Chain A
Amino acid sequence: MTEKKTFTYYPGCSSQGSGRHLDESIRAVMPELGIGMVDIEDWNCCGASVGQIGGGPLSNLALTGRNMAQAEKQGNKDVITGCAACYLNTHGGNEKIKADEQKKADINEALGAAGLSYNGELQVHHAMEVLVNEVGMDNIADRAKANPLKGLKVAGWVGCQTVRPFAGTDSGGNYDTYEDPDFLDDITEACGAEAVAYDSKTNCCGGSVAVMKPEKTLHLMEKILNSAKQAGADVISTPCPLCQTNLEMYQDSINKKFGTDYNFPVVFPTQLMAVAFGMEAKKDAGLHRQTIRAEKLEKMAKK
């Protein structure tokens, strides 16, 4: 396929750990849709939701500054990321640098210590926004003619930071709404699967609090699993690597606490796409990385 646009890709820390299957499936499907991606060289952590508490606001912003400076230096192409927290921090930080001359000067003074600089002219995009605004659902549906996921029922779980607080802003590409976003169900349907209606679509799993103190947030995750199950879903699809890991790894604890018997697979929309595009279940979709295997989806894979 001819390339529509090339981005500088920011994989983020989870791409080398808990979210490897997100990274693998993004790398597989994006070029199929005409989106070129070149990694930010020697990228660093974004700071996530607690970096500013640990390091202070300017040091935390300097993490984004270094990534953006690298992106500018190696070809000055807009940045794309698939991780919700990376997007929140990198997009949010980039907009702060752009909006405030003093901040930009401070960041450049800090970057100067390593011989780097950043002009503040790049945009940071979420991979989901790129799918909506640059690729379009028609093109996804067209590519998914290879192996449409007929009969698979999917609960699209958007979570938080993929849409909040930037999806409805100009700089965030105005790609969806906050309360009832459509993009995830649209991707499901473009893949030939059925998007089920359920009421926990934009609920929070507890994020990093779930990592710190799961006992505080297990009920939040139980509610999501329960409503997806009630709606008859075979699988939950979420774009966020922390959501995916939390909801998957805490099902044992949830079952213990609530007397339930969940064994519910949670995948990424890009994994659905890889299977629907007729690509390899392992290499492209990373389905072997599920700790709760998505058996129905695996059976649908052509390779």
Chain B
Amino acid sequence: MTAPLPEVASRKYDLTFARWVRDNVEGGDKMNMCMQCGTCSGSCPIGPEMDNGPRKTFMMVRAGMREEVLSSSTLWNCTSCYRCTVRCPRGIKVTAIIQGLAQVAAKEGYAPKGENASFANAFWWSASTFGKTDERLVPTLYYFSAGFMEGIRKSLDNLKIAINMLKAGRMHIGMPHTIKDKKGLKAILAKAAEIEKAKG
């Protein structure tokens, strides 16, 4: 005779986090459509660099594993290739959700140093200060975000590339390219941040 069935589920799922993601992350409203087929993770070009991948991440959100999701390496390795998004048989915006979760993780202080979030901060500094991406300063700032020696090492690694780009006229020496109306852009971004903050 087999053992009797347990009377209650072995684990209760807490849907608080899943509901929060549904309401606050772009594309989150469709996450409940996920049938765990794994097309997303199977299509990811950089899947082996991710601890969980999108399929498992979605299940972890449903399971209420807030800490594990927000501290996951999955969020910092997305190349934005959108393969998962166009292949998802349920039409879920997989890329948007992973990047939306990355945003939440960065805001809540989960982002590891020297990773994508440091690059994103360097990038945003350039875009919001000059109105343009400076292809020299953004990588350099990022390299040094992981420490001085690491910065020197990575800069030297890329020296030959930089020289080639200078020779081809695809990198310039001197001040960053900027937009004319930096003041206007600053005012727009400050207002946008204020609106965003007011909404929580």
Name A residues whose Cβ lies closer than 8 Å to a Cβ of B.
13-14, 16-21, 42-45, 47-59, 61-63, 65-66, 88, 106-107, 109-116, 160-161, 164-165, 168, 178, 202-204, 206-212, 216-217, 220, 245, 249, 252, 288-291
Contact = CB atoms under 8 A, between A and B. Distances in A.
A278 B77 CA distance: 43
B192 interface: yes
Interface of B is mostly: helix
A18 B135 contact: yes
Contacts of B16: none
Given A14-B135, A17-B171, 14 more contacts: A13-B133, A17-B177, A42-B180, A54-B120, A57-B196, A62-B192, A113-B188, A114-B183, A164-B81, A208-B80, A212-B139, A220-B46, A288-B169, A291-B168
B9 interface: no
A290 B168 contact: yes
B83 A160 contact: yes
Contacts of B100: 57
B117 A53 contact: yes
Q: Determine which residue in A49, A50, A61 has the highest number of CB atoms from chain B within 10 A of its CB, and name it.
A: A50
Given A116-B188, A178-B86, A203-B45, A16 B181 contact: no
Contacts of A210: 79
A43 B184 CA distance: 12
Given A209-B77, A217-B46, A57 B124 contact: no
Contacts of B80: 49, 88, 160-161, 207-208
B12 interface: no
Interface string B174-200: 000101110111011111110110000
A146 to B, nearest CB: 26
B193 to A, nearest CB: 5
Please report whether the interface of chain A is mostly helix, strand, loop or mixed according to DSSP.
helix
B29 interface: no
Could you say which of B79, B106, B132, B170 has the most chain A C-beta atoms within 10 Å of its C-beta? Answer: B170
A165 B85 contact: yes
A207 B81 contact: yes
Interface string B115-154: 1110111111111100111010001001000000000000
B162 to A, nearest CB: 9
B127 A66 contact: no
A164 B86 contact: yes
B187 A113 contact: yes
Contact of B79 (A17, A45, A111, A204): A204
Contacts of A207: 79-81
A220 B45 contact: yes
Nearest to B185: A44
A14 B99 CA distance: 23
